[in-house]
Amino acid sequence: MKKAIILDLDNTIYPVSSIADHLFNELFSFLDLHIAGEGIEHINRAKEDLKRIPYQKVADKYQFGETVRSKGLELLTNIEYNLPMQPFDDYKQIRETNVTKFLVTTGFTKLQWSKVKMLDIEADFEAIHIVDPELSSLTKKDIFASILEQYNYQPKDVLVIGDDPESEIKAASELGIDTFLYDPENKHPNAQVTHRSQNLKDATAFIA
């Protein structure tokens, strides 16, 4: 039996697509104007990646110029989301598991906290950690390691649940922690994970 689970937020507890158009409206309009020379397909790929990858990594991947990168950061640093949000339906099963839960998410601090508030999930977690690249050099791997140390867990005591093989899944694997990849569209069939499913609730089978 696991003593604790660590969950990602975006696209793990709720779908970013449900809020993306409203949340990123100003940023998307800005990108339409300032990287238009790269072509519509380039812009659309960048927009899609922004729904699942931190802005800084998208800016590097698509080689945003310094002006575009800085303005994008400025637009996102102080943004909050204050409209109703709903978690995935089967998050209910995760919420009801009798195990200590931690939330570890990457993003802008104010924005990520606003999502937690609108989802009404703060009480579900022993602790919430926001990895904000603009404020700290700490990574998810660093946070996972600190949780193990602070709570005297062994790697075998913990399960990390997330949607990104290159983020929380990779970080957990490097620490020897079991992983559960939530992959509803089977986008990552070759990812190296301990467990995987297209249904989030299936993670409960690996907790007890």
The reply to whether 94 and 57 lie within a common domain is no
pTM: 0.89
Neighbour-count burial of 96, counting CB atoms closer than 10 A to its CB (0-12 exposed, 13-18 middle, 19+ buried): exposed
CA distance between the termini of the chain? 5
Same domain (yes/no): 128, 62: no
Residues 173 and 188 in one domain: yes
The CATH number assigned to the domain holding 176 equals 3.40.50.1000
Beta-bridge partners for 89: none
Single residue among 38, 61, 77 that ends a domain in this structure: 77
Provide the pLDDT for residue 121. Answer: 98
- pLDDT band at residue 36 using 50, 70 and 90 as cut-offs: low
**Domain edge (last residue) among 61, 77, 93:** 77
Strand order in the sheet with 4-7: 127-131, 100-106, 4-7, 158-162, 178-182, 195-197
Q: What is the band of 33 on the pLDDT scale with cuts at 50, 70, 90?
A: confident
d(CA 131, CA 140): 7
154 & 56 share domain: no
**71 and 101 co-located in one domain:** no
Across 58-63, average pLDDT: 90
Domain end, chosen from 33, 59, 77, is at 77
pLDDT interval class at 31 (50, 70, 90): confident
Q: For residue 155, give its domain range.
A: 4-15+84-206
Query: What is the widest separation between alpha-carbon atoms in the chain?
Result: 54
